Amino acid sequence: MFKNTIDNKRYYTLNCFYKNKFNCKVCKISLNAGFSCPNIDGTVGYGGCIFCSKLGSGDFAGDKSLDLVSQFNQVKDMMNKKWPDTKYIGYFQANTNTYAEVETLKNYYETILNLDNVVGLNIATRPDAISDEILDYLSELNKKTFLTVELGLQSIHDKTLKYINRGHNLKCFVDCFKKLKNHNINVVVHIINGLPYETKDMMIETVKYLNDLGIDGIKIHMLHILKNTKLSQLYEKENFHVLTKEEYIDIVINQLEHLNEDVVIHRITGDPDIKDLIEPNWLTKKFCVLNDIDKEMVRRNTYQGINIK
């Protein structure tokens, strides 16, 4: 049996990691602090990444018309009914959550940290949006709570990053990653499978590279095409290939096989907004995808890290 498991999974789930670390149920609560993005406002680019919705990767974050405490309590109250003894991680999710002055960040982050039963923060951001001053503050924060910085990358291939209007290259990501790790900060990296014109080998290369870099965790998403995005326009024009469910499952399993067994798998598929989804329709059945990954790993008798030499 795979060593890092509490539920017979053959990969290291976030649920398993949290239970081992905190010895209780831990839930992440998504928040929307109303941040912008340097790839939207013209600092590094305009329009954002081609796949980004108008909510800037915050489709399931909190309602930004509410203050952060109200957003937090709205979800916490629901969680408490199911898991009364839950601890919480405040997840700053929407847009770029280090894209502000340090004093603003302190106010937002520490407002959540001061709430009862909050044991940490997850901060989603970009590698080109962490200044040295912010890095110093994150280092201080890391000594007070369990801090995770989630860095968006999507692919190691600069040609792809340019196509998706990412606004930075691989070197920018690596430089930022190394700075964070030099401050002993836990780093989770976001990647997307099925980006236009990437091959299976390219997607596996991305994971191999990140594993060698020494990431702490990973979020694996499937590209989904939403209405009213630049990606939807390109899809209509170019009709590029969208991965089938079977192709996606095969690629994910291959990627898991090349990840060290101690890399935490924070996510292994995506959650598209169904009302805006164009393709792929199979992604709407999230639990079917998860179950099919599990079944195929059993059928292949494989597990995370099996191909690490």
Say how far apart CA 39 and CA 52 lie, in whole Å.
Answer: 11
Give Cα 228 to chain centroid, integer Å: 22
DSSP β-ladder status, 277-279 and 264-267: unpaired
Confidence band (pLDDT; 50, 70, 90) for 55? low
Residue 54 has pLDDT above 70, yes or no: no
Confidence band (pLDDT; 50, 70, 90) for 59? low
DSSP β-ladder status, 217-222 and 264-267: parallel
**213 with 177: CB under 8 angstroms?**
yes
In the predicted model, what is the mean pLDDT of the chain?
92
CA neighbours closer than 13 Å in the CB half-sphere of residue 45: 17
Nearest in space to 171 (alpha carbons), one of 189, 153, 184: 153
Question: Over the stretch 91-119, which tens digit does the pLDDT of each residue have?
Answer: 999 899 999 999 999 999 999 999 999 99
Q: What is the DSSP letter of 51?
A: T
Rounded to 5 degrees, what angle do the CA atoms 197, 58, 112 make? 140
Say how far apart CA 304 and CA 2 lie, in whole Å.
Answer: 8
Say how far apart CA 130 and CA 138 lie, in whole Å.
Answer: 9
Say how far apart CA 67 and CA 242 lie, in whole Å.
Answer: 38
**98 with 130: CB under 8 angstroms?**
yes
Say how far apart CA 96 and CA 38 lie, in whole Å.
Answer: 8
Confidence band (pLDDT; 50, 70, 90) for 57? low
> How many CB atoms lie under 10 A from the CB of residue 58?
23
Residue 60 has pLDDT above 80, yes or no: no
Say how far apart CA 121 and CA 192 lie, in whole Å.
Answer: 23
> How many CB atoms lie under 10 A from the CB of residue 139?
16
> Which of 2.60.120.10, 3.40.190.10, 3.80.30.30, 3.40.50.1110 would CATH assign to domain 14-300?
3.80.30.30
Average pLDDT over residues 207-226: 97
Question: Over the stretch 114-173, which tens digit does the pLDDT of each residue have?
Answer: 999 999 999 999 999 999 999 999 999 999 999 999 999 999 999 999 999 998 999 999
